[in-house]
Amino acid sequence: MVPTKERNVSGIYLDHKGEGILIDCGEGTQRQMNIAGINRLKVKKILISHWHGDHMGGLIGLLQTIGNIEKEDKHLLLFGPKGSKQKMEHLMKATYFYEKIDLEVRELDPKGVEKFHEEEDYHLECTWLEHSVPCLGFSFVEKDRRKINMEKVKAVGLKPGPLVGKLQEGKTVDFKGKKIKPEDVSFVVKGKKLTVIWDTVFTNACLALAKDADLLICESSYAADLAEKAEEYKHLTTQQAGFIATQANVKELITTHFSQRYKTAEQLEEEVKTFFKNSRCAYDFMKVKV
């Protein structure tokens, strides 16, 4: 919640084929983006988990900066929990905000884990977590794609063209009196899944959202010996984050959102590894390829 000399507050930037999705936007986020070499104009979607200041305090400054940059397409989608439209209106009225961007706010009120936005090659999911205010967890789910094996294509006599295109779409084609099935000349590449679980106590919704994720980024504000404090303030411990990763069958766990009581993340990282081996603690400007 409180920035330190080493760590800023919450903000995750997801790049997918050049499109930026910003997951929360704590104060100082755009300066962090500067240091990380991230172009603000790449941000096309912002996902706000909840409206505590450490998760959205940098929002108005980022929007004003994007608005002041000369560019034709400034359409931006902001997704957040129910009540986000009113929160955004209040935020904009509290400043001299010149509306130079096309900002569309969409409120989310899922019943369980729900898909809330879909693009050609991925979709976004969310579910309610359990915090002191309405709070959402998010998943980015890349769609499976079929990849053509050109050696096999050549072996059956096909050349690049419409028929190969149909095979890549998963359709069977007729070629010289023979039926060629997609699986004869191609294979399916499983899409990647990234789940982000922000402020919450443990709930089964965490498991459902993170199921089979390639990467789970999960808050663990406290070490395991402060489970009562975590429960009081509605946060997770290292042990609970490890339990979620284990039970949800995730491949890798990165923990974040540490209490400022911990001067370094060393203790937390050593501890979370005892609960889930393939895990590590986040640090500012950390880059991960999924």
Domain ranges of the chain: 1-109, 110-144+190-283, 146-187
Question: What CATH fold (topology level) applies to the domain 1-109?
Answer: Metallo-beta-lactamase; Chain A (3.60.15)
Rounded Cα–Cα distance for residues 220 and 200 (Å)? 9
Please identify which of the residues 15, 24, 54, 121 carries the catalytic annotation: 54
C-alpha atoms less than 13 angstroms from C-alpha of 213 in its C-beta half-sphere: 26
Other beta carbons within 10 Å of 210 = 28
Rounded Cα–Cα distance for residues 68 and 88 (Å)? 19
How buried is 239 (Cβ within 10 angstroms: 0-12 exposed, 13-18 middle, 19+ buried)? buried
pLDDT score recorded for residue 70: 73
pLDDT score recorded for residue 59: 96
Strand runs labelled E in the chain: 12-16, 19-23, 43-47, 75-81, 102-108, 114-118, 122-128, 136-142, 145-148, 173-175, 178-180, 186-189, 193-197, 215-219, 252-256, 279-281
pLDDT score recorded for residue 74: 78
Question: What CATH fold (topology level) applies to the domain 110-144+190-283?
Answer: Metallo-beta-lactamase; Chain A (3.60.15)
pLDDT score recorded for residue 240: 98
Nearest CA among 190, 194, 211 for reference residue 143: 190
pLDDT score recorded for residue 69: 81
Question: Which ranges of 83-200 would DSSP assign to H, the alpha helix?
Answer: 84-93, 150-155, 162-168, 182-185
Q: Do the first three CATH levels of 1-109 and 110-144+190-283 match, i.e. the same topology? A: yes
pLDDT score recorded for residue 67: 86
Over the stretch 132-191, which tens digit does the pLDDT of each residue have? 999 999 999 999 999 999 899 889 888 888 998 899 888 999 998 889 999 999 999 999
Over the stretch 106-118, which tens digit does the pLDDT of each residue have? 999 999 999 999 9
Tell me if residue 54 is catalytic: yes
Each residue's pLDDT tens digit in the chain (290 positions)?
889 888 999 999 999 999 999 999 999 999 999 999 999 999 999 999 999 999 999 999 999 998 888 776 778 999 999 999 999 999 989 988 777 788 999 999 999 999 999 999 999 999 999 999 999 999 999 999 999 998 998 898 888 889 988 998 889 999 988 899 999 999 999 999 999 999 999 999 999 999 999 999 999 999 999 999 999 999 999 999 999 999 999 999 999 999 999 989 999 999 999 999 999 999 999 999 99
